[in-house]
Amino acid sequence: MEDEPGKKKLPILYASETGNAMDAAERLGREAERRRCPVSVLSIDDFDPKSLPSEETVIFVVSTTGQGDIPDSMKNFWRFLLQRNLSEEWLEGVDYAVFGLGDSSYQKYNFVAKKLDKRLLDLGATALIERGLGDDQHPSGYEGALDPWMSNLWNILYQKTPKLFPNGPDTVALDGTWMDQPKIQITYHDIDNGNSQYSTDIDFKYLAMQMERTRSMSPGKSYGKNRPDCFLKLIENCLLSREVRGKDVRHLEFQAFSSAIEYEVGDVLEVLPSQDHVAVDAFIKRCNLDPEAYISVQPRETQNSTVGANHALKILPVKLKTFVELTMDVASASPRRYFFEIMSIFANAEHEKERLQYFASPEGRDDLYQYNQKERRTVLEVLGDFPSVQMPLEWLVQLIPPLKTRAFSISSSNAVHPNYVHLTVSVVSWTTPYKRTRKGLCSSWLAGLDPQQRVLIPAWFHKGSLPSPPPSLPLILIGPGTGCAPFRGFVEERALQSKFGPTGPVLLFFGCRNEDNDFLYREFWLSHLQTGGVLSEDKGGGFYVAFSRDQPEKVYVQHKMREQSTRIWSLLKQGAAIYIAGSANKMPTDVLSALEEIISLEGGVTKEAAARWIRALEKSGKFHVEAWS
């Protein structure tokens, strides 16, 4: 659909970490365009915040990550909004709407959307509609809140500015002009030689460039770096847990092959997993694609954009099979709702078309969620369930979830192991409602690697939520399960530092189910508990373990913390920092409650005052949480 000349576009700005907020924003954009309302859907870091006052209406779609953290793409925008020189009237006359994406199992649920909503109000903007809060825990995921919120939004916008919707807020164009076009275009190239193949000699710079070139073409490149910092080679793969209990936790050691590596304790390593070659071949065959063809992928040129032409100058073709392997998650991730809508257009069998149209409709939303997300059906499985569908490659590339890197807390010290990095990896495994066993793509791939094989693993290092502490800082570390991983690095480094001068004491609280089955790094902790060790009492330290299932009543880390309330309070009075790592489920909230109780009890203050005490610790950079689902 062509825009009317001179008609201003409605900006829809998104801040996404994993792609959900981008997906929701694009859905808002499509629904608006189908009502003939021109829109501009942009990542928030592509929007100039100085131009906000000149907008009549702005829609924000923002996700919350980790423990209430702002997505990376939003950080500059948020810093700008927090400037003290912005007046209370700065956004007077600007209408806005905020939709947030979060998970109510986290303590700071939809924190970013709530903070943005309040700040926009403080700057004089007017909320068109109460902020929408999408919840991953809802039976239909975030769309359970998005659908009714979006319907209300169109009605309110129409009442305020009727010209935005010429045919009304509920009238979708049915004359064929609503038919979406793919946002990318694919060019096939005649190449007879193998110049774009991986080099048989190990040329890391070439490999990195090949990967960067391939992944830079992916529509998912906006939330992931393309060129690896280095390539790693696995040198050790040890089982830490006992196999009899079905839990598979590994200690993995890697050597850097392509270049020297640098990281600090508390940093995070991202790796790009390899996909199952059988699944990739099955996908290519199902979609009638030529794996040997050479392609380039670029944004489709639009009337008002030259991005396609400019981008094309930087593109060299890659083999189609390589592109699929490195960028398209065909056998792990579940497709999004829009995938089913576009599939319905290309379905040749009437019964398949009807089922897909139902899945894509508001009435079929819950059934789609049960069929797709709850079962974690993969793209390959969905395509297998609808054999009459033949989608063009442009749509497949646009709609199939991008193959993403997976992040792991580093469990080693670079100072102790120069040019090596260690990870503690729990193989993710679960059973779907229909009793099908699923395994995490990256964790199961890493666990299955053989150190004797020559597998090159693309890796990226970056800062996590746990900053490296100075040697003199007293530490209170709480890391149940694989949450102990970063603290293994902390203890290693502190032990090295103690050889060259005095260091602050360390209290470490660890928890697991059974002493015999999953006491991770038992010998390591006990060695540092001996006289003169970092965790020893003579150094002011301590190591306390909660075995939750070794007695009739369950015992967790928070129970051990309460038992050691005097020692915790003593270290806090010495200026200690608190670090928490592990499962994001209930653990961070339970640990926080225990800390508030300890401060209230030992400090003789109210619970409210204890909560303020912890907030002050957080503001001073002495309270850190790294939690994962």
37 is in an annotated binding site: no
518 is in an annotated binding site: no
441 is in an annotated binding site: yes
CA distance 185 to 305: 14
Number of H helices, E strands in the chain: 20, 22
482 is in an annotated binding site: yes
380 is in an annotated binding site: no
Taking the C-alpha atoms of 576, 582, 585 and 591 in order, what is their torsion angle to the nearest 10 degrees?
-20
Tokens 């209408």 belong to residue: 95
Strands 57-63 and 126-127: unpaired
548 is in an annotated binding site: yes
10 is in an annotated binding site: no
21 is in an annotated binding site: yes
From residue 358, how far is each of 33, 362, 407 by CA, in Å?
21, 8, 36
Q: Which two tokens stand for residue 164?
A: 């935005």
Give the sign of the dihedral formed by CA 527, CA 528, CA 532, CA 537: negative
20 is in an annotated binding site: yes
399 is in an annotated binding site: no
Q: Which two tokens stand for residue 399?
A: 């709609």
108 is in an annotated binding site: yes
Q: Are 240 and 521 in contact (CB under 8 A)?
A: yes
372 is in an annotated binding site: no
373 is in an annotated binding site: no
Residue type, 340: F
Q: Are 318 and 295 in contact (CB under 8 A)?
A: yes
16 is in an annotated binding site: yes
136 is in an annotated binding site: yes
105 is in an annotated binding site: yes
17 is in an annotated binding site: yes
106 is in an annotated binding site: yes
Q: Are 475 and 468 in contact (CB under 8 A)?
A: no
431 is in an annotated binding site: no
63 is in an annotated binding site: yes
628 is in an annotated binding site: yes
18 is in an annotated binding site: yes
Beta bridge partners of 477: 508, 579
258 is in an annotated binding site: no
Q: Which two tokens stand for residue 91?
A: 């956004």
CA distance 476 to 576: 7
Give, in degrees to the nearest 5, the angle at Cα 410 between 407 and 412. Answer: 165
CA distance 576 to 514: 30
443 is in an annotated binding site: yes
Residue type, 621: G
Chain Cα centroid distance, residue 162 = 38
Tokens 């992040």 belong to residue: 407
65 is in an annotated binding site: yes
CA distance 131 to 100: 8
340: which residues sit within 8 A by CB, 6+ positions away? 356, 359, 360, 368, 372, 382
Please provide residue 42's backbone torsions phi and psi, each rounded to the nearest 5 degrees. -135, 145
CA distance 629 to 322: 30
Collapsing DSSP to helix, strand or coil, 355 comes out as helix
Taking the C-alpha atoms of 478, 481, 484 and 485 in order, what is their torsion angle to the nearest 10 degrees?
-150
109 is in an annotated binding site: yes
Given 3-state DSSP classes, what are the helix, strand and coil percentages for the chain, each rounded to the nearest 5? Answer: 35, 20, 45
Q: Are 303 and 2 in contact (CB under 8 A)?
A: yes
| Residue among 326, 89, 96, 56 at smallest CA distance from 217 | 326
Residue type, 12: I
Give, in degrees to the nearest 5, the angle at Cα 147 between 144 and 151. Answer: 150
Q: Which residue ranges make up the annotated binding site for NADP(+)?
A: 482, 548-549, 554-558, 590
Q: Which residue ranges make up the annotated binding site for FMN?
A: 16-21, 63-66, 101-110, 136
Q: Which residue ranges make up the annotated binding site?
A: 16-21, 63-66, 101-110, 136, 376, 406-409, 440-443, 482, 548-549, 554-558, 590, 628
Q: Which residue ranges make up the annotated binding site for FAD?
A: 376, 406-409, 440-443, 628
